[in-house]
Structure 1
Amino acid sequence: MATKPMTKTQLVAALAEKMDTDKKSASAALDAITGLITDEVSAGGAVTLPGVGKIYCRERPERMVRNPATGEQIKKEADKVVKMTIAKALKDSVNG
């Protein structure tokens, strides 16, 4: 099991090797995919990456939370959070 997550540099190098291209093209492809996902999820949509999972935005309602330092109850406004559902194929490959 890997101890540290793969960095962007390592990911670009691995992508360039898989695509049989240079690192500049692989970096541009990665940046384009990241930009597309960001734009779609920011607009309230969802993106499905086949074999990896689905990335989407979910709205959380207004709720009461506790300040751990003081114990005071405060109201937290409604907000949005990005979620990812992992694809079954990826779960199965990880679990053996």
Structure 2
Amino acid sequence: AITRARLAAEVSEATGITRREADLIVEAVFGAIAGALRSGDEVEIRGFGSFRLRSRKARLTRNPRTGEQIMVPPKRVPFFRAGKALRDRLNQEPSEEPLAAT
């Protein structure tokens, strides 16, 4: 799995900025996405995909240890849908993949 630190390191390497600057940029992007979702907006990144919130209803479930029934409250969860360009890149043969992001 790629971590936030590794993502920042790759941004730093690809752009020539310091790792600290890249880390700040990555954190700012994630913060902007979370903030937009929190305020009810959809985040669309052309060529990559879109993020939106989905609502989950309250539901009755069981505690697996005790068997006790528990009511889980309603909540909002993030949902990501990959864009066509990303899906196409993921389904290319490895030799066809471009060297730089487009």
Given candidates 56, 71, 76, the residue that maps to 2:52 is 56
Identity %: 32
Normalising by structure 1, report the TM-score. Answer: 0.78
1:29-83 C-alpha deviation (Å, 9 max, x unpaired): 1111111111111112111122221111111122233444455554322211111
Residue aligning to 2:85: 89
Contact 2:4 2:26 in 1 (8 A): no
C-alpha distance in 1 between matches for 2:6 and 2:70: 43
Q: Structure 1: where are the runs of 5+ without partners?
A: none
Residue aligning to 1:39: 35
User: In the alignment, residue 83 of structure 2 is paired with which amino acid?
Assistant: A
User: In the alignment, residue 39 of structure 1 is paired with which amino acid?
Assistant: G
Given candidates 6, 19, 43, the residue that maps to 1:10 is 6
User: What RMSD, in angstroms, separates the aligned Cα atoms of the two structures?
Assistant: 1.8
Residue aligning to 1:65: 61
User: In the alignment, residue 53 of structure 2 is paired with which amino acid?
Assistant: C
Divergent runs of 4+, >6 A: none
Q: How many residues align?
A: 92
Residue aligning to 1:28: 24
